[in-house]
Structure 1
Amino acid sequence: MSPVVLGKALRRSLQQVRYVVPVGFGAADGLTRAVYRQVEREFGMLAPPVALHSPAPEVMAAGWMILRETMIASWRASRAAKEVVASMVSVNNSCPYCVAVHGATLHGLLRDPTAQAISEGRVDDIADPELLAIATWVRTGVRPRTTALPPDQAAELVGVAVAFEYYNRVVNVFLDESPLPSHVPGRMRGTMMRFLSVLMRGPASRRHAAGASLDLLAARGPAPDAAWAAGAPHVADAFARAAATMGAAGERSVPEPVRRLVTAKLARWDGKPLGLSRGWVDEALAGLPPADRPAGRVALLTAFASHQLGQDDVDGFKRGGADDRRLVEVVAWSAFAAASSRLATISASYR
């Protein structure tokens, strides 16, 4: 199978998006078309983690912007270093889809065992000292003592880490564990993942101008906590525009008592899993008005245990009249709130 054929197959994998129906090119509005074109040009394919947002075009643009300006835009950090961060955050968050995609990209760039070592939890086997230091930092949340992290890459690498705290949650909700279509036979999956590595290598090896996605959304003033991104103004700008857009989506689609509950719980959270039981969800929901509990359940699970959100939770939410746009906006607001809550800790651990 050629990379071109694989690219077409992956485009059809949008049919595997759960709970919402992505907007096709033919029905897309101007903003959606602009995002789709950028994604295909710069990522190498219409990536399902971006396209699944399409029922809420502004939210999709915000999600794409933080991914594009941290991961794809060329600045100080190498693409390989950023793929290490994306892969390692995805391992930490138990997001097998993202581990597979970014591991394939990393393997295509380096053509060595680094990606496999990360996916198998053998970080100490990474041969490159700088990549080892970066992977160790992400895995442990502690700056390595033996090797200095590059100070001029802080904004990009912290930005990638926060972006994937967001994307891992959204992907766990809406996508299967593998980027390959479900009809692909097991005996073909290894071959197709190797072709995926080839497909991703080309766009990942090219230079991409910083700031090219910023015009998708209106300009915003700098966020009050943007000092961490001072070394990469396009990253700071992307997060400021995205934060304003996600905030507006929350006001539209997330009941105010739910926003208060999630925000308060995130302020007390240390980033560790809350356990296999979902008893904590029922306990937290008890203080909400009954009409807000279905949205609260989706929001809480997205923020704290995205891999546990399932069909029953979505059905309960949609029984109250929620459409695809509202579901995307509740999930996106919650995922962005959780990612943002981790920003200070991630940034401080790099210094």
Structure 2
Amino acid sequence: MAPKPVKLALRRALRETRYVRPVPVGKATGLVRDVYRQLERDFGMLAPPVALHSPSPPVLAATWLMLRESLVAAGATGRADREIVASLVSQANACPYCVEVHGMALSSLGRSSVASAIEAGGVVEDPRSSAALSPAASAELTAVAFSFHYLNRVVSVFLGPSPLPPSVPDSAREKAKAVLGRFLRPIEDASPGLSLEFLPAGSEDFAWAAGNPTVADAFSRAESVFASVPVPPAVRDVVLRELSSWDGRPPGLSRSWVDAVDLPPDDVAAARLALVVAKAPYQVDDAMVAGAGLSDRELIEVVGWSSFVAAQRCVALEAHAGR
């Protein structure tokens, strides 16, 4: 875990969150407090991509379950391979924040050349492509990919392009990244399953996770949360309908594709936001968020649900492609 002065500085990074106000550490109670404590202990810092979900405690817990049991907990794969998958997915989703964070982690693990190659868009071997993967290893790496298809969308909406604040001068960025990277190293006692207590058991089966019961349990519990958040049924219907025929490719820079969708008349703004989050989160802007007129909790839940179902679709497409 980071020393206290660094830990406090990392907590202040939550202030950079857009559109919602995360729960400050000093005011966290109940489930939020418990997730924050485990997050700082096991991930090394109060990671803003997770903590920003705190206006909705169940969604915060679901996000942490997915991240911890895929990326952080000990298992059949090494942390470096998981970080490579996280970085490759983030690079494919054009999420510079996550590419930078996980590049720091790779550098701290002695894989700085891989991190540099990914950031530059070079060719890097994807650990998921190995023919020697065991079912447990395949489940873990698929879970990492799922988590980052989810997190990349959330981060694109609520955070900026870098985990470092704009006040850090260019001359100091590499040193700052090296310092932060040290706190992202794996801890020795990150036993699998310790986050499961935060949420009740789910009922959904994830076929891709069959090789790792803990991962399957974590994602089933998370799915139950997203299935129950109060997203309007008409919004759910239009997003799921559009995703069912989506090939996974971003629709480009224009938002004209959204105008061609038959949106529910009573929930146009919320449906537009949810659909753009799912397919093109980089297109979300201030006007779109303001137009939805959602409270902090509602916004986290709509963005979270849309990101989750989009991640499901992305993982299904990757499985069909044989990755």
TM bin, normalised by shorter chain, reads over 0.9
Q: CA deviation at 1:149?
A: 4.3
Where 1:172 maps in the other structure, the secondary structure is helix
Answer yes or no: is 1:36 the counterpart of 2:50: no
CA distance in 1, matches of 2:94, 2:43: 23
Deviations 1:10-64 (A, max 9, x none): 2211000000000012322300001000100000000000110000000110011
CA distance in 1, matches of 2:322, 2:30: 39
Aligned ranges 1:149-228 → 2 under 5 Å: 149-152=132-135, 153-201=137-185, 204-221=186-203, 223-224=204-205, 226-228=206-208
CA distance in 2, matches of 1:82, 1:205: 15
CA distance in 1, matches of 2:37, 2:31: 10
Equivalent residue in structure 1 for 2:275, among 292, 297, 300? 300
Aligned ranges 1:8-47 → 2 under 5 Å: 8-47=8-47
Equivalent residue in structure 1 for 2:286, among 293, 298, 311? 311
Q: CA deviation at 1:346?
A: 2.6
Instruction: Tell me which protein shows more helix as a share of its residues.
Output: 1
Aligned position for 1:108: 108
CA distance in 2, matches of 1:341, 1:133: 20
Equivalent residue in structure 1 for 2:298, among 326, 330, 349? 326
Q: CA deviation at 1:258?
A: 1.2
Answer yes or no: is 1:256 the counterpart of 2:233: yes
CA contact (8 A) 1:6 1:195 kept: no
CA contact (8 A) 2:263 2:271 kept: no
Deviations 1:127-169 (A, max 9, x none): xxxxx242xx5xxxxx4xxx52423410000110011100000
Answer yes or no: is 1:244 the counterpart of 2:224: yes
CA distance in 1, matches of 2:103, 2:3: 17
CA contact (8 A) 1:25 1:33 kept: yes
% same residue: 47
CA contact (8 A) 1:301 1:309 kept: yes
Where 1:94 maps in the other structure, the secondary structure is coil
The amino acid across from 2:133 in the alignment is P
Aligned position for 2:54: 54
Equivalent residue in structure 2 for 1:288, among 239, 253, 264? 264
CA distance in 2, matches of 1:296, 1:324: 17
Higher relative contact order (CA 8 A, sep 6+): 1
Answer yes or no: is 1:235 the counterpart of 2:215: yes
CA distance in 1, matches of 2:106, 2:263: 45
Q: CA deviation at 1:88?
A: 0.3
The amino acid across from 1:191 in the alignment is K
Q: Count matched residues.
A: 321
Q: CA deviation at 1:98?
A: 0.3
Where 1:113 maps in the other structure, the secondary structure is helix
CA distance in 2, matches of 1:272, 1:118: 19
Q: CA deviation at 1:112?
A: 3.9
CA separation of 1:84 and 1:350: change in aligned 2, threshold 3 A: farther
CA distance in 1, matches of 2:215, 2:86: 16
Provide structure 1 residue ranges, at least 5 long, that are not aligned to the other structure. 125-131, 138-142
Equivalent residue in structure 1 for 2:252, among 275, 285, 289? 275
The amino acid across from 2:180 in the alignment is L
Q: What TM-score, normalized by structure 1, do the two folds share?
A: 0.87
User: What's the RMSD between the two structures over aligned residues?
Assistant: 1.7
Aligned ranges 1:70-149 → 2 under 5 Å: 70-124=70-124, 132-134=125-127, 143=129, 148-149=131-132
Provide structure 2 residue ranges, at least 5 long, that are not aligned to the other structure. none
Q: What TM-score, normalized by structure 2, do the two folds share?
A: 0.95
Where 2:280 maps in the other structure, the secondary structure is helix
Moved segments of 4+, more than 6 Å: none
